[in-house]
Every structure is written in structure tokens, then in C-alpha cells.
Structure 1
Amino acid sequence: MNVLEEWTALVCRELGIDPARVDRAAVLDLTRDVAHGVTRPAAPLTAYLVGLAQGAGTAPPDAVERLSRMAGDWGRATAETLGDS
């Protein structure tokens, strides 16, 4: 078991989460996309917001994929928005 797996297992136990429900790869991919496409501090915040939405039952099933796409389009979308002023 590597450090990331150990940490995930420990946090899941502490928070009462079934580790089988954690898609570590999806979360890491999302945070990478946001960190590179938007800004680094947005990555953990986005992961936290997805978790809140999941817990509240308001996150769409494809939330992670949609947010990854949004992060990839961020530069273009921002340029278009700034061009509208």
C-alpha cells in the first residue's frame, strides 16, 4: 500500500466513508485539470465543492466530467467574456 492509499483509508475511516465509494483517480484527474486550466488554489476548492454537492445530493452524475471540461475551456471562456466588455 502506498502513502496515498494509506492516507485515503485513514481519512475514510475517520469520516465514516466506505473506501470502495472513493474514485481517487477521478478526483485527482479533476484537481489536475482545474489546477492547470484555472489556477492551483481552485483545485482543492473544486474538490471540496463537489464533495458538498455529492453529500447534499445535488451533484449531477457527470459532475466531475463536466467540471473537468469547464476547466479545460476556462482560458477560452474567460477570453470570450473579457472580449464582451
Structure 2
Amino acid sequence: MKSQDETLEEWCRLLLRAFELEDVDVDINEVLSLAGVAAHSVVRPAAPLTTFIAGFAAGLASGAGQATDSTSMKAAMDVARSLSQAYAADEPQGTAVPPAADGPAGVPAPSGTPGE
């Protein structure tokens, strides 16, 4: 029987192959970490939503040639993590996280909200 890590690695390879993205390096632990932050800082269903949007933003930035794949992914995940943490910090006061301006690599830049 395969371990969870082995299953995730295999699944990741299958997905990448299906989308013809075999040359893309995915840090599974980093993606899962971001999902955990979103799930605990916002609400549980925010985990897949956050990782999807971060991945989409990274793909757009990379596809537009604004940054390398790895730089785009790191920037998008950093923004998503910061916003998730800021949302949790702001939630008790009922304040919303302001929209961020576009930063390097075509992903929103951190807004300067606490927790970033």
C-alpha cells in the first residue's frame, strides 16, 4: 500500500502529464501548507479556492513572461498566505482586507495589512 506522500507525488505527476506540464516543479508541501493556512485563517473551503487562485495567478504571470514559473508560483503563494493571515487577524474586528495592487510577477502585491 502506498503512503499518502507517494500517492500525492504520483497524482501530481499524473496531473502534470495530463496538462502537458511535466517540466513544472510543484512543491507539494508548500501547496498543502498554503491550503492549511487558508483553511485555518478563513474557513476550510477557502483552502482549495486559495490554492486554485494562487496557481491561476502564477500561471498568468508566468505565461505572460513576467517571471519564471518558480518565481511566479512563489510570489502568488506568498500573497495568498499573507492575505489569509491578514484576514484572520482582521476578522475579529470585522474589517475587510483591502484589494492589493499588482506587484512583480503580475500577482497582487501584499497590501501592508497586519500579518504580512
TM-score bracket for this pair, using the shorter chain length? 0.7 to 0.9
What residue identity is the alignment partner of 2:42? V
- How much has 1:36 moved relative to structure 2? 1.0
Number of matched pairs: 82
Aligned equivalents of 2:74 and 2:10: distance in 1?
Answer: 27
TM-score by length of 1: 0.78
Higher RCO (CA < 8 A, seq sep 6+): 1
The change in CA–CA distance for 1:55 and 1:20 in structure 2 (over 3 A counts) is closer
What residue identity is the alignment partner of 1:40? R
- Aligned ranges 1:30-69 → 2 under 5 Å: 30-57=34-61, 61-69=74-82
SS of the residue corresponding to residue 18 of structure 1 reads: coil
Tell me, which stretches of 5 or more residues in structure 2 are unaligned?
A: 63-71, 97-116
Out of 10, 13, 16, the position equivalent to 2:14 is 10
Tell me, which stretches of 5 or more residues in structure 1 are unaligned?
A: none
Instruction: Give runs of ≥4 in structure 1 deviating > 3 Å.
Output: 58-61
- How much has 1:70 moved relative to structure 2? 2.4
Aligned to 1:28: 32
Please tell me whether the aligned partners of residues 37 and 74 of structure 1 are also in contact (alpha carbons under 8 angstroms). yes
TM-score by length of 2: 0.60
SS of the residue corresponding to residue 21 of structure 1 reads: coil
Aligned equivalents of 1:61 and 1:20: distance in 2?
Answer: 13
Please tell me whether the aligned partners of residues 9 and 19 of structure 1 are also in contact (alpha carbons under 8 angstroms). no
